[in-house]
Structure 1
Amino acid sequence: MNAKGDLIARLTALGLSTPTFDAAAQGPAHEQVFHVTVSAGGRTLGRGEGRSKRDAERAAAEAALAGLDAQEEGQEDRPRESGGRWPIYAAVLEGALEAALDLAPEDATLDEVRADAARLYRDLLAELGHGPEPVGGEDG
């Protein structure tokens, strides 16, 4: 499982912004513990800690995914940012990520590439008529 990648894909499918991971280290250099908070769209999605920054980011992404799962199970009627849930097509998402990476300038940040990939993905699905699915009991 690639929790960070899965989280990015989930947020893209939901039409939400790219997640940001904020890390802080505590303790002496030989015994540091990293604390990471992952957020998107101005709200905290999860927190994690680990002996390395990578482990803490993974734990935070896993917590965010668990929170999103619980939210979907318990609050299906809650409106989402884009008016619905975008379907996940792994091959299309992978292609959008590759295209965004190929088109990105050399000095682009990872968050910029992710945001471009999300836009490409949503635009392509919209052009193909696979836009967001209605949430809750909405009539279309």
Structure 2
Amino acid sequence: MRTILMAALICVPSLSAAQSKPYHDEISQVFRGSWAPTLADCRDAEGVNKVFIDGGSVNYYEGNDYLLIGVEFGGAMTKRGGSGSLFNGRFTGRTETNLLGESNIRMEIDDRDKNVMYRYPIGEDGEPIDTREVKSVRCTNK
């Protein structure tokens, strides 16, 4: 019995962090960085209108949307014609100490202009609500 148990333990493959893969996509590099409605908002020292995106969250002035699950894909833009990088994510929102619940969001960046991002809430039918578009420009360090 002892020999069988030892053999079973030896045969079980070990999983390391290098071997494991998350069950969903992080927010990709093309979306990461600082964004604002206008370039003037990018220069605002207070940063009230800026949004900072990293691999797992969208961070606002006094609030955050944390990625729960997401998928990145390429395809047709919602309103622009042409194609781009798209990301559908389910986020849980927070402002200060208040949890806001969950929301489904699509982010899009046109292949022709990587410095403009469009965000849309996703409706019950799984499609972006194009009338609620939020347009942002990439903030640079200049």
Quick check: TM above 0.5? no
Structure 1 or 2: more helix by fraction: 1
Larger radius of gyration: 2
Q: Which structure has the higher relative contact order (CA within 8 Å, separation 6+)?
A: 1
